[in-house]
Chain A
Amino acid sequence: MNSIVRCLKKDLLMEFRSKTAFSISFTFSAITTLAISLITSQIKLDENIHSILLWIIIFFSAMNGLSHIFTREEEEGTSLFLMLNHKPESVYLSKLIFNLIYFIILSSIICTMYLFFLQISPSNIHFFIISVFSGSTAIVSITTILGAMVSKAGGKGSLLTAVTFPLLLPVLWTSIKMTESSFKTDVAPYLGNAVFLLAFSGLVICLSYLLFRFIWMEV
């Protein structure tokens, strides 16, 4: 526990000092949202198109920002230092918590900007928030562990997207459906999808907790 707190503190401190990861992914998502709203400002889009566009932005922002926490360790050559001082399990949990906090903040910024620039408002705001939150949790849980794998391969840029996308497809499908129904007035919110997403994240997190040792260490 103490060890997780120390790791998390270190990651937060480093992020506050350098702000690289956050500023890069924030700029990326801002630019994508603006580009989309510029292009589509003259057209009236369906709810499902809105939902798909929103999740595409969220997906690519995740690809951009979430593996950074591991690739930074490899790039700066500090992974051995981290390995020596902390157990793989606490490293994993601290990085997961960091990514969760980080991505929830990022995706709420993305959503606010999206709703603002594209001039739409979800008819069921609570359900919209739930859909974004549960979808982001599932994305974070998968991307964190796969980011750790890819960072060992030298953080080759597009590899993370290639590796993550097929595994994230059910998450994206479900999230898109949920967000779409939150835009519609005539559809009753169905919470089963949120339960599916959270259960999926739970499964992935448990599995990652067990497997992280093999990815992180050579033992």
Chain B
Amino acid sequence: MKNNTELTCNKISKKYTGRRLFKDISLKLVNGNSISVTGENGSGKTTFLKVISGLIQPSSGDVQLLRNNNPVNITNFNDYIGFTGPAVNPYPILNAMENIKFSMKNFSEEKSLNLLEKFNLIEHKNKPVKLFSSGMVQRLRIIIAMINSPDILILDEPGTNLDSKGKDILYSILHDFKNNGILVIATNDIEEKKICSENLELA
């Protein structure tokens, strides 16, 4: 039984002194919705994702998360959101399994092995992350974003550094996910954009 989740943005804007990133964005997402966020470099895609995942406060407007019609406090958003992006770096000195253990709420060996298997990282699970190639790190990022079975998955450029095989795995997983949860992808890649049913263009 999947939870009934609803993410609402109410006229959010973000600006830094002398620079406005985006203005008055309103949007409502429920289970089964998927949206891609596109825009030029520097248009504020990453900042937008951080705002809707409760990591940054918007300059004006507000973000709400409803779970089974109960509002979630912004400080607890991370319990229901899986977020990853190029700035999310696993600890280089720890190995893949230790990084997973660190981020998993209730550690289950089976589930982590299962995900590692899916992303073909199973034979590297005891290798320190600093020895990983950038594509392998990207796979690990996605595993960690999904490890706590979030209701909402927010991905910033998920396809970066992945080879075609990695992208295939990613796309099939995202296709499965979007039927039940909310999927938000910031990307300029046409393939990734196609996965999502809607598109938000940041100017």
| Contact of B93 with A84 in the complex, beta carbons under 8 Å | no
| Contact of B54 with A78 in the complex, beta carbons under 8 Å | no
Taking CB atoms, residues of chain B closer than 8 Å to A213 are 75
Instruction: Known contacts A6-B101, A87-B75, A219-B75; decide if A77 and B89 are in contact (CB<8 Å).
Output: yes
Instruction: Known contacts A217-B55, A219-B74; decide if A76 and B98 are in contact (CB<8 Å).
Output: no
Q: Classify the secondary structure of B's interface with A.
A: loop
**A2, CB-defined interface residue at 8 Å:** yes
Residue of A18, A76, A85, A213 with highest tally of chain B CB at under 10 A: A85
A7-24 interface code vs B (CB 8 A; 1 in, 0 out): 101100110011000000
Which residue of chain A has its CB nearest to the CB of B85? A80
B140-174 interface code vs A (CB 8 A; 1 in, 0 out): 00001000000000000000000000000000000
**A46, CB-defined interface residue at 8 Å:** no
| Contact of B102 with A219 in the complex, beta carbons under 8 Å | no
What distance in Å separates the Cβ of A191 from its nearest Cβ neighbour in chain B?
A: 40
**B131, CB-defined interface residue at 8 Å:** no
Instruction: Known contacts A78-B89, A80-B88, A84-B88; decide if A13 and B78 are in contact (CB<8 Å).
Output: no
B14-58 interface code vs A (CB 8 A; 1 in, 0 out): 000000000000000000000000000000000000000011110
| Contact of B88 with A76 in the complex, beta carbons under 8 Å | no
Give the size category of B's interface with A: 20 to 34
Instruction: Known contacts A219-B55, A219-B56; decide if A76 and B91 are in contact (CB<8 Å).
Output: yes
Which residue of chain A has its CB nearest to the CB of B128? A17
**B135, CB-defined interface residue at 8 Å:** no
Instruction: Known contacts A10-B91, A78-B90; decide if A2 and B105 are in contact (CB<8 Å).
Output: yes
> 9 shortest A-B CB distances, which residue pairs?
A85-B103, A77-B89, A218-B56, A10-B102, A81-B88, A78-B89, A80-B88, A17-B93, A80-B87
27 contacts between A and B (CB under 8 A): A2-B105, A3-B105, A9-B102, A10-B91, A10-B94, A10-B98, A13-B98, A14-B93, A14-B94, A18-B93, A76-B89, A78-B89, A80-B87, A81-B88, A81-B103, A81-B144, A84-B55, A84-B83, A84-B103, A85-B78, A217-B55, A218-B55, A218-B57, A219-B54, A219-B56, A219-B57, A219-B74
